[in-house]
Structure 1
Amino acid sequence: MPASAGVRRRGAVRSEEARMAVLDATGRLFATQGYDHLTIEGIAAQAGVSKQTIYRWWSSKSAVVADALIEDKLLPDHPVVPDTGDIRADLIAWMQSLVDLVAEPGNDGLVRSLVAAACESPDIGTRLNDALGITATVSTRIEAAVAAGQLPADLPVTEFVRALVGGFVLYSLERTEPAPDVAERLVRALLH
């Protein structure tokens, strides 16, 4: 008989209602307090659950935040690459919206949190990428620009997108005040 058949795991049964309450609370608290002031205790109180309930589902605050982001509870209107017909301007606008997001008070730990969560679990990294659609949507926009002749036909799209996103992540991890033209400089460096 398989280990899971007929055997109940120890501890309380996981409740989907409690899980969603935690994710909703995480989204609300993140919106009002930012990442740096978000605590497991605060999330538990807001959700009406115990800390132990949270730790049954997630290993850390980073993992809770990542799941809240994946479930569209954190940034339901996350920045997307616009399509004005000018790929350079569109990428700069998108990158600037990301820079502005992490520059908001309390949000500077967001990217570090997501990187930490992805390092804890490769599944979280994959789910974050899929949920945010960064690779897919940015790649689609880049491919359209290549097809329109705005970018070289031999541009390695996957590597370009990884470099663009990676540049943003590295910038975010540095914890420095953003230069006013950081988005433009990053896009320009990659397009030259």
Structure 2
Amino acid sequence: MPSPDPARRNENARRAVLDATLDLLQEVPYPRITIEGIASRAGVGKQTIYRWWASKAAVLFDAFLLLSARDGSDTPQLPDTGDLQADLTLVLRATVVELNDPRLSDPMRALATELAQDESLAEAYHRQLDAPLREAKRQRLREAQEAGQLADDLDLDVAIDIIWGPILNRWLQRSGPLSDEYVDALLRTALRGMRP
């Protein structure tokens, strides 16, 4: 009989912890989640969690990475049909669906709270999640610029902030509804100022 593979057992325990964290976020507000509660739900000892993660926020971040990996997107890429406004409408409407989904919005809100307070966690988030996605956005806008759909002197990083920022701001501050109508109005307004 072959001996058990410790690496496999560790990966199973790690996944159990991350899945337990995501499950608990559907049942309990993030501030009330504890390492003990995660350990109990995952069927592991508290010391196992502390061996792999420095804090509850670090567990949440890895759980969020797992959630992101489940959608199958290794290298993010925005659609390019040749119609920038249609492509951005598709992407932003999908973003709104995610932000409005309580199964995703609760973990994302918890992560946003932790990022605002933990500089090293914010750096890891930007390096592992935000930077690749931002590069995909920049690439799509660059292609539109090369096709003459956006002004030659447009600062693409500022354009990204102008297009995506209002949606995230409205969601984070709960300052108004996120809807297809809002996306359409946002894109009409933003792109009007970015065209040649």
TM-score, normalised with respect to structure 1: 0.72
Task: Tell me how far 1:19 sits from its aligned partner.
Answer: 7.8
Kindly tell me the number of residue pairs found equivalent between the two proteins.
Answer: 174
Q: Deviations over 1:71-109 (max 9, x none)?
A: xx1122267522221111111211111110121133332
For 1:169, the equivalent position in structure 2 comes to: 168
> Match for residue 184 of structure 1?
184
For the 8 Å contact 1:108–1:172, the answer to whether it is kept is: no
Gaps of 5+ in 1: 1-14
User: 1:37-62 CA distances to partner (integer Å, 9 max, x unpaired)?
Assistant: 474455323433234543562433x4
User: Which residue of structure 2 lines up, in the alignment, with residue 6 of structure 1?
Assistant: none
How far is the alpha carbon of 1:35 from its aligned partner?
A: 4.9
Query: Cα gap change, 1:180/1:87 in structure 2, threshold over 3 Å: closer, same or farther?
Result: closer
- Is 2:110 the counterpart of 1:117? no
Give 5+ residue unaligned stretches, structure 2: 1-6
Question: Displacement of 1:170 after TM fit?
Answer: 0.8
Q: Judge conservation of contact 1:103–1:178 (CA < 8 Å) in 2.
A: yes
State the superposition RMSD in angstroms: 3.1
Q: Secondary structure at the match of 2:38?
A: helix
Q: Match of 2:93, as an amino acid?
A: Q
Identity of aligned residues (%): 29
Bigger proportion of residues as helix: 2
Q: Which residue of 2 aligns with 1:12?
A: none
Q: Which amino acid aligns with 2:80?
A: D
How far apart in 2 are the matches of 1:119 and 1:20?
Answer: 31
Q: In structure 2, what is the Cα distance between the partners aligned to 1:17 and 1:120?
A: 33
How far the C-alpha of 1:66 sits from its partner, in A, is: 1.9
Q: Could you say if the C-alpha distance between residues 27 and 156 of structure 1 is closer, same or farther in structure 2, counting changes exceeding 3 Å? A: farther
CA distance in 1, matches of 2:94, 2:59: 24
Q: Structure 1 residues 74-83 or 148-157, which shifts more?
A: 74-83
Contact kept? 2:167, 2:178, Cα under 8 Å: no
1:44 and 2:39 are equivalent in the alignment: yes
2:3 aligns with none
